[in-house]
Amino acid sequence: MIAMMGFPIEEGLPFGGGLFICLSKEERVDTRLSIAVQKNGRLSEKSLELIKSCGIDFYADSRVLKASASGFPLDFLFVRDDDIPQYVADGVADIGIVGRNEYDESGAELSVVRDLKFASCRLSIAVPKGFQYTGLGSLEGKRIATSYPRILSRVLKENGVNAEPVVVSGSVEITVDIGIADAIADLVSTGTTLKMNGLEEAECIYRSSAIMVASPDMADEKKAVLSRLLERIDAVMLARHKKYILFNLPSDKLEEAARIIGGMKSPTVTPLMDEGWVSVQSAVDEDRFWAVFEELKALGAEGILVMNIEKMTE
């Protein structure tokens, strides 16, 4: 990366326009990382929200296909999710946020740099009422409609089942009713769509969530930008799974309280004016939060204050 006085040129903050004249357009563009994000759909909002939480400002309008961040060398490309793996593989974008299902189905060979843990869903076999499903073997010789033939075929092969995938690009749920399939393999999150179409979820064969993929051959300058981005994403994701808790406690209960909080390095302890009392603060895993809260209360903790954490590092 070309830098002067510690400021990367592409952010260009402390300099006038004159300095940019020294650089060709390609040199400047090359140090910016481009990210492909779904334009409109289940991944769009959370993908953009995650990047905004990383302190990266940009203006995204659903009518435009491109945008640039200010203050961070990141350019956006808003596209259909199906196209994201190929765009990254072809170098149209350096990284992308896509469902693991789309990535695996595409067959592209990219680096999966993070599981972002949103848009979770499962690919399940669903059958009509009355279908005697006792396992994948029940699908032997059957027609299975799906938009994910690659993943389905892999699972069937691994389980030694010979069945015929019927590839459809949408409305998979109606294929049994209209007689072109005996069962389906489709994405499920709540299961409502299956029920509404008279189908029963028989077995989950694959799990997915949003992932960040990256081109395996990126210039070192871009790799450095990606590391900065991932560092911010990790801080945001870690903070989302923690709560910050503050409370007052009789000092003789401190050891017990530390055991209840667990999982962290020693909590911060400050003496109070009131002799024999201390103020304690610590981060707590969100999934253990209520158990910790109740146990601390039972121990004699008072004035318990709970806060969301915006960003944190381990």
Q: Which residues lie near Zn ion (CB under 5 A)?
A: 81-82
Query: Which of the choices Zn ion, ligand PRT, none does residue 191 contact, using the CB cut-off of 5 to 8 A by kind?
Result: ligand PRT
Among 54, 187, 239, 284, binds ligand PRT (CB under 6 A): 187
Nearest-CB residue for Zn ion: 82
Cβ 116 to ligand PRT shortest distance, Å: 11
**In the set 190, 220, 273, 275, which binds ligand PRT (CB under 6 A)?**
190
Sheet holding 302-308, edge to edge: 268-271, 277-285, 242-250, 302-308
User: Does residue 80 touch ligand PRT according to CB under 6 A?
Assistant: yes
Rule CB under 6 A: choose which of 86, 153, 193, 281 binds ligand PRT.
Answer: 193
CB 260 within 8 A of CB 297: no
Spatial distance between the Cα atoms of 3 and 112, rounded to a whole number of angstroms:
29
Residue nearest to ligand PRT (CB): 99
CB atoms under 10 Å from CB of 262, counted, come to 11
Question: Cβ(237)–Cβ(212) under 8 Å?
Answer: no
Q: How many residues does the chain have?
A: 314
Residue 192 near ligand PRT by CB under 6 A: yes
Q: Which stretch binds ligand PRT (CB under 6 A): 21-29, 39-47, 57-65, 127-135?
A: 39-47
Instruction: Kindly state the DSSP code that residue 272 receives in the 8-state scheme.
Output: -
The option from Zn ion, ligand PRT, none interacting with 31 (CB < 5 to 8 A, set by class) reads: none
Minimum distance, C-beta of residue 162 to ligand PRT, in the bound complex (Å): 25
Q: Could you tell which of Zn ion, ligand PRT, none binds residue 166, using a CB distance below 5 to 8 A set by kind?
A: none
- Residue 186 interacts with, from Zn ion, ligand PRT, none (CB under 5-8 Å by kind): ligand PRT
Smallest gap from residue 222 Cβ to ligand PRT (A): 25
Strands 66-68 and 3-4: unpaired
Residue ranges in 196-215 that form contacts with ligand PRT under rule CB under 6 A: 208
Going from the C-alpha of 19 to that of each of 10, 13, 25, 271, the distances in angstroms are 11, 11, 12, 55
Asked if 99 interacts with ligand PRT (CB under 6 A), we say yes
State which amino acid sits at residue 43.
L
Task: Look up residue 267 and give its DSSP letter.
Answer: P
Interface with ligand PRT, residue 101, by CB under 6 A: yes
189 by Cβ neighbours in 10 Å (0-12 / 13-18 / 19+) ranks as exposed
- Report in angstroms how near the CB of residue 94 gets to ligand PRT at its nearest: 19
Does residue number 102 form part of the binding site for ligand PRT (CB under 6 A)? yes
| Distance (Å, whole) CA 264 – CA 247 | 16
CB count, 10 Å around CB of 91?
Answer: 11
C-alpha 30/C-alpha 18 separation (Å) is 19
Closer of 80 and 117 to ligand PRT (Cβ): 80
Per rule CB under 6 A, is residue 62 in the interface with ligand PRT?
no
Residue whose pair of structure tokens reads 């033939």 in the numeric block = 149
What token pair was written down for 266? 């020693």
In the complex, which residues of this chain contact ligand PRT (CB under 6 A)?
38, 41-43, 80-82, 99, 101-102, 119, 121, 186-193, 208
